């Protein structure tokens, strides 16, 4: 292929789908991963392989990477975007929801890194972009467990960056504020959801997924000698 393979997790909707479209328009072959295959196939992107994947399944993640590399060549960029946001109070939220967020938001990211990093280090090139959140930099009401997972993404990304920088591998964190996605729909507390919607309206609307996609493409397009370590972006009127 003329351009390196780009892998995107959580590519069936929202930020992931927008990133897939942006990198496809830039001429990259794609491995698109999510639980739902039909929405990814509906994107109808050229030179793309769409596979159903649970990012918590380490072996399946590696197998998907191997299948795509056999077709398109080595992974040049991995975008770890898959995530879930389940908001609630620490004394009343179902702990199973905490486990679900830890599994997907943290272990899923680590599984992606694990699947591609050895090859990148051997080739002395490659970029891993982890989609975190502004909730990985500061706290918000009802976000305790979610913030914990996103603080973890920030920490593991910077930690690995320090380990692989001398080998020419770039680690990037993108931390969006509120984005127009399906993420809030996972929350089961209706009162919290109503408050969140009110917060979005108070800032005059939130940013579009395409804005995050452009940020990811910007980081990727920098010279190999430049690592955009972190991008934080939110609606101008977002408070906090």
List the catalytic residues.
146
pLDDT at 187 over 80: no
Task: Give mean pLDDT, residues 156-170.
Answer: 98
Query: Residue 184 — pLDDT band, cuts 50, 70, 90?
Result: low
Q: What is the mean pLDDT of the chain?
A: 95
Stated length of the chain? 240
177-181-184-190 Cα dihedral, nearest 10 degrees: 120
Task: Tell me the pLDDT tens digit for each residue of 89-127.
Answer: 999 999 999 999 999 999 999 999 999 999 999 999 999
Per-residue confidence (pLDDT) for residue 157, from 0 to 100: 98
Dmax of the chain from CA atoms? 53
In angstroms, the Cα distances linking 238 to 98, 180, 203, 224 are 26, 13, 6, 33
């Amino acid at each position: 292929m003329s351009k390196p393979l780009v892998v995107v997790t959580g590519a069936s909707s929202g930020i992931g789908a927008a990133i897939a479209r942006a990198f496809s328009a830039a001429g990259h072959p794609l491995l698109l991963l999510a639980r739902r295959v039909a929405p990814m196939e509906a994107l109808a992107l050229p030179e793309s392989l769409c596979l159903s994947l649970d990012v918590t399944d380490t072996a399946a993640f590696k197998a998907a990477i191997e299948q795509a590399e056999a077709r398109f060549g080595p992974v040049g960029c991995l975008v770890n975007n898959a995530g879930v946001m389940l908001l609630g109070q620490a004394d009343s939220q179902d702990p199973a929801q905490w486990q679900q967020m830890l599994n997907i938001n943290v272990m899923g990211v680590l599984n992606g890194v694990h699947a591609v990093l050895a090859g990148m280090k051997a080739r002395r090139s490659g970029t891993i972009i982890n989609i975190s959140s502004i909730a990985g930099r500061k706290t918000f009401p009802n976000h305790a467990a979610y913030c914990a997972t996103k603080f973890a993404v920030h920490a593991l990304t910077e930690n690995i960056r320090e380990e692989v920088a001398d080998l020419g591998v770039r680690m990037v964190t993108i931390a969006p504020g509120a984005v127009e996605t399906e993420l809030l729909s996972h929350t089961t507390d209706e009162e919290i959801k109503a408050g969140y919607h009110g917060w979005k309206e108070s800032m005059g609307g939130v940013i579009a997924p395409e804005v995050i996609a452009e940020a990811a493409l910007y980081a990727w397009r920098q010279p190999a000698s430049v690592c955009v370590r972190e991008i934080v972006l939110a609606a101008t009127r977002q408070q906090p």
